Amino acid sequence: MNLGLAEKVVLVTGGASRIGAATVTVLAGEGAIPVILDRDPVSEALQEILGDVGHTIRMDLNNDDACGAAVAEVIERFGSIDGLVNNAGSNDGVDLAAGTAAFLASVARNLGHHYAMAHHALPHLRTSRGAMVGVASKTAVTGQGGTSGYVAAKGGVLALTREWATALAADGIRVNAVVPAEVATAAYERHLAKFRDPEAARAAILRHIPLGHRMTDPHEIADTIVFLLSARATHITGQWIFVDGGYTHLDRALDRDAVDAR
C-alpha cells in the first residue's frame, strides 16, 4: 500500500533499536526520510536500510537544549518536519519504595522528552500539517506492579495524546498513541530471564494473548505507527490504538485452554 509518505521527514526517538528501529525500517520502505534520535549507536544493518536518505543524531533526549538543537539540525538539513514518533522509554522498575526523587526522575526520563520534542517540533509540524504518534504501554491502563514511574509516564503519554489532539486540531495536526503489550524484543527476553523459570513465565504470558497465543512482532507495532502518520489516516486523531493481540481488553475466557474445555 502506498501510504503517501515519500520524502516525508519523520523524527523517531529511540529509533536505534526495538520498536523504534522497526518503525524506521517501515518508514524507509515507504520512501520517507527517517531521522533517528537516540543516545545509542545505529547498527550496521539499520544503517544499511537508512542508506544515504535517512539521518541519525546521537543525543540525550533528557536534555531540552539537545532536543531543540536536533530539531534545528533537521530543519537545516531537510527543510521540514512532517511527523514525530515519540517512542523512547524504558521500564525502569522505580516503585513505591524508591522515594519521591526517584519517582519524579523516572517520569522525567520517560515522559519529559515527549513534551520537549513536541514543543520544539511544533512550529514545523504546523507548517506541514503533520502528525504525531506516541508509544505508550498497556501498563498505563492495566497496571503492572513495581514500576510506578514508568506507568505514570505512560499514562501521561495517553493523556497528552488527547490533550494535544484537542489543542492542535485547528492546525490540522493529528495526534495518536499506539499501545503495545507483550512485544518480542531483546529487552523483553532480558525481562523474562529475571524469572525463576523463564520458559514457564513465557508460556503463562502467551496463554493469555487471545490472538495466536504469541507476542506481538515489533514490525506490527511499526506498521500501525506508520499508518497513523500517513495520508491514509487523515481523519484519525486523539486515539489510543492497542496492538496487542487482544491481550489488554478481551475476556480471558478466550484463553485456548478455556475454549477447549467447553
pLDDT of residue 261: 40
Supply angle C-alpha 65, 69, 75, rounded to 5: 150
Active-site choice (115, 150, 188, 247) = 150
Rounded Cα–Cα distance for residues 171 and 165 (Å): 10
pLDDT of residue 224: 98
| Grid-cell match 539521518, residue found | 55
Q: Any idea which architecture 9-183+217-245 has in CATH?
A: 3-Layer(aba) Sandwich (3.40)
Rounded Cα–Cα distance for residues 128 and 110 (Å): 27
Enumerate the domain spans of the chain.
Answer: 9-183+217-245
Q: b/e per residue, 175-206, with b = 16+ CB within 10 A? A: bbbbbbbbbebeebeeeeeeeeeeeeebeebb
pLDDT of residue 189: 78
pLDDT of residue 259: 44
What are the mean pLDDT values of the chain's consecutive 10-residue runs (262 residues total)?
Answer: 92 96 96 97 93 94 98 98 96 95 97 98 98 96 93 98 98 98 80 81 87 92 98 97 92 52 38
Rounded Cα–Cα distance for residues 133 and 85 (Å): 5
Is 115 marked active-site? no
CB within 8 Å of 42: residues ≥ 6 apart: 16, 36, 50, 56
